[in-house]
Structure 1
Amino acid sequence: MFKKLLAMTFITTLLLTAPKGTYAATENYQIDRTALDKGLIAVNYTPDTDTKTIVRISKGNDNYDYTLTNGAHYPLQRGNGTYSVLIAQLMSDNKYKVVSKESIELKLDNENAVFVQSIPLINWNSNTKAVVQMNKLTNAAMTDMEKTAAIYAYITKNIQYDYEKAQSVKAGYIPNLDAIYDSSKGICYDYAALFAAMARSQNIPTRLMMGYEASAPTTYHAWNQVFLNGQWVTIDTTYDAVRVQNGENTPMIKNAADYTITQVY
Structure 2
Amino acid sequence: MSKFLPVRLFFVWLLFGILLAGCGNSPSSDEEPPVYSPARVLTPEAPGKKTLGSSPLILDISNQDQGYLTAESDSDDSRMNIQLTAPSGVVYSYFLEPDEQTVLPFSEGSGEYLITCYQQVDGNQYAALYTETLTIKLQNEFLPFLYPNQYVDFSSKSEACKLAASLVKEDMTDIDILKTFYTYVTSHISYDYDKADSVEAGYLPDVDDTLSTGTGICFDYAALTTAMLRSQDIPCKLQIGYSGDVKHAWIDVYIRGRGWVTKAVSFDGDTWKLMDPTFDANSDGDEAIQKYIGDESNYTVQFTR
TM over 0.5: yes
Gaps of 5+ in 2: 1-13, 21-51, 278-288
Aligned equivalents of 1:187, 1:51: Cα separation in 2: 29
Kindly state the Cα deviation for residue 95 of structure 1 after the two structures are TM-superposed.
3.0
**1:9 Cα deviation after fit:** 5.1
Alpha-carbon distance in 2 for matches of 1:45, 1:147:
37
Identify if the C-alpha distance between structure 1 residues 240 and 98 changes in structure 2 by more than 3 Å, giving closer, same or farther.
closer
Question: What is the CA distance between 1:152 and its match in structure 2?
Answer: 1.1
| AA matched with 1:264 | T
2:271 matched to 1:242?
A: yes
Name the CA shift for 1:90/1:129 in 2 (closer, same or farther; >3 Å).
same
User: Residue 101 of structure 2 aligns with which residue?
Assistant: 71
The 5-angstrom pairing of residues 1-265 of structure 1 reads 8=16, 26-28=53-55, 29-47=57-75, 50-60=77-87, 61-68=89-96, 70-213=100-243, 217-228=244-255, 229-233=257-261, 234-239=263-268, 242=271, 251=276, 254-255=292-293, 257-265=297-305
Contact 1:10 1:65 (8 Å CA) reproduced: no
Shift of 1:258: 3.7
Q: TM-score, normalised by structure 2?
A: 0.71
- Where 1:41 maps in the other structure, the secondary structure is strand
Q: How far apart, in 2, do the equivalents of 1:102 and 1:90 lie?
A: 19
Give the deviation of 1:179 after TM superposition: 1.2
Deviations 1:197-223 (A, max 9, x none): 00000011111101122xxx1110000
Q: Give percent identity, aligned residues only.
A: 29
Secondary structure of 2:228's match? helix
**Amino acid paired to 1:236:** V
3-state SS of the aligned residue for 1:221?
strand
Paired residue type of 2:264: I
Kept in 2, the 8 Å contact 1:53–1:89? The answer is yes
- CA displacement, residues 190-246 of structure 1 (integer Å, 9 cap, x when unaligned): 010001000000011111101122xxx1110000000113421122354498368xx
Cα deviation, 1:121-149, whole Å, max 9, x if unaligned, reads 11101221121111111124522121111
The Cα RMSD (Å) is 2.7
Structure 1: distance between partners of 2:172 and 2:19: 43
Counterpart for residue 21 of structure 1: none
TM-score of the pair, normalised by structure 1? 0.81
Contact preservation (8 Å) 2:72, 2:102? no
Given that residues 160 and 242 in structure 1 are in contact (C-alpha distance below 8 angstroms), is that contact kept between their aligned partners in structure 2? no
How far apart are the structure 2 equivalents of 1:139 and 1:241? 31
Q: 1:187, 1:54 → 2: CA distance?
A: 25
Which amino acid letter does the alignment assign opposite residue 262 of structure 1? Q
Describe the SS at the equivalent of 1:110: coil
The answer as to whether partners of 2:266 and 2:272 remain within 8 angstroms in 1 is no
Report the Cα offset of residue 11 of structure 1: 5.5
